[in-house]
Structure 1
Amino acid sequence: MTVPKTTVLVLDSAEPELLARFYAELLGATAGPAPGDGELLLVTGRGGLVLGVRRDPDHAPPSWPLPEGSQQAHLCILVDEKSLDEAEREAVTLGARPVAAEDDGSLQGSRTTLRRYADPAGHAFALTAIREDIVPGDTP
């Protein structure tokens, strides 16, 4: 059985409120803080979650398509906090490779509510614990 999950593309921004408002207006959606997470804003439309925006004070605009630019986006997979360990086992079983950021304490083995991985092709994503009432359980 698969743990219920939903995905949110998260954009980093030095001014997340402005970026979230931009996308909310552009998409006819609303923007507000993620419940239980002071660093993440969620842009929500009629169909549910559309986009996340996270504060990064050192954010540099993308140099795309130049390859030497920094990571500008990553996939954030929201999981019920009680199912985070099981979701991690699923991801690793499917071929995800755990990675650690030197500045988040995860190299010291802490089990945080944010766990970072590389997919089999090397793309970054994170499993993020969130309250059960936020994670839709009936979507395929």
Structure 2
Amino acid sequence: MPLVEAGYVVLDCAEPEKLAVFYKELLDAEETDATANRVEIRGADGIRMAFRRDVNATPPSWPRPENSLQAHLDFQVSDLDAAERKVVELGGRPVDTKDAAGPYEERGYADPAGHSFTLRRTTPTAPKQG
């Protein structure tokens, strides 16, 4: 039996139940455990996340320069526009959606509690024909 049985990305927030709903809908996930101060989910691809109550939690200030990004989540998507619509519909907000240089397109967002994440299209963009 392995020493570490499971790993979670844990986000501190004032309202873990509400933030869990955002990520459950975005990741097509299911709730696996919930207590008064923590909600755990597992996404369709196996990603495990938890949301821990911290009434003093403050969101990072990224992309403002006075604080570094510290950490963020990356999610791979096949349709950036559709994923962005879903993020906004669920209460997230765009923070850096300009075209990114390089072989992959990506856009930055904040979840309803202010945590940073990136949607990244994994298929290189081909030039339009005609």
TM-score bracket relative to the smaller structure:
0.3 to 0.5
> Higher relative contact order by CA 8 Å / sep ≥ 6: 1 or 2?
1
TM-score for the superposition, normalised by structure 1: 0.40
> Which structure has the bigger radius of gyration?
2
The structure with the greater share of residues assigned to strand is: 1
